[in-house]
Chains A and B, each alone.
Chain A
Amino acid sequence: LPSSSELLRRKIALALPGLLGVSEQFVGHPLIRDLYPEYLFTSHCIIRASVPLMEAAREEAITRAGGDPVAAALAPYLEQHIPEEQDHDEWLLDDLQLLGRARSEVLVRLPSPTVAALVGSQYYWIFHYHPVALLGYIAVLEGYPPSTAMIDELVAGTGYPREAFRTMLAHAELDPGHAEELDELLDELPLTREQSAAIGLNAMSTTRVLTEAFGEMVGSASH
């Protein structure tokens, strides 16, 4: 039988070609110098919600932990993982500042409804189904980080200093370890068939909406 983590990766693989396609369009885009700050902005809109989402899931898991072994095992994982994701939104603001985008300007700019849907749907899963579903979102966002080769290509293509790629470089280094920790958790959790399906459904849906969000960002360059 495939392990829970292997099964989840296969489900994500079904939706992943679209996201990889958008990634390729982005990296090879002739207007990449204009697009890179837009990419950082879109990423900031998503990543500033990561810690609050995990905190919400941790609180909900603690509330359910008494009679729910999955919630009981989820809470300490999130407790440990939250500090590892702390301040990554600040890194993005620093990267943007290096490109001449002031923090105040970034923070008042409206996020896209697609990003709001991507993040907002996680609160639905957490509070109205089960907080374990958030693992599908985390599996996508931490499971396929940019490679250093991709970042090198972006540095060359944009002409921006390497210091403006701090967030991408950090994730290229950190995320593989985080993905392994998540796989270990998934394989230890006593998931019901429904919980496993919720994680899978959320992961596939996350991949699709993330593809839409970055696709809109790439599309904005030609207007």
Chain B
Amino acid sequence: MSSQKPPSPAEDALAIFVEKMADPVERQQFVSDPSAAFHNIFENTGRSVHDIPPSVQAFLRYLSVEELAFISQLSDTLLAASLAEPTSHGRSIAKL
């Protein structure tokens, strides 16, 4: 039996969004008209764009086609990262 928590509505909606963004046509449509694309993406999914926090929605609207393509490849980390606060205080071993 799995002990994993079920995804929250926001995580679920974002997963649907990321999956759609793997398709170049969907990406282009999203950049051309984000509001219409949000509506189409969640049609018949049981989820809504309103499940995604407004700040995350606003952020997604700023992304280019190329950035959406890149992000669709980062789906493993996208959910946790984009639903969290900006990690300006994150610390890593990387430096210039």
Contact = CB atoms under 8 A, between A and B. Distances in A.
A15 B67 contact: no
Contacts of A39: 93
Interface in A133-165: 138, 140-147, 150
A23 B96 CA distance: 15
A40 B25 CA distance: 44
Interface residues of B, number: 27
Given A14-B74, A141-B94, A214-B94, A7 B62 contact: yes
Nearest to A5: B88
Interface string B52-92: 00000011001110110011001011101110101110111
B5 interface: no
> Main SS of chain B's interface residues?
loop
A200 interface: yes
Contacts of B71: 14, 204
A168 B92 CA distance: 11
Interface residues of A, number: 50
A200 B94 contact: no
A201 B72 CA distance: 12
A16 B81 contact: yes
Contact of B64 (A22, A144, A193): A193
B95 interface: yes
Contacts of A138: 96
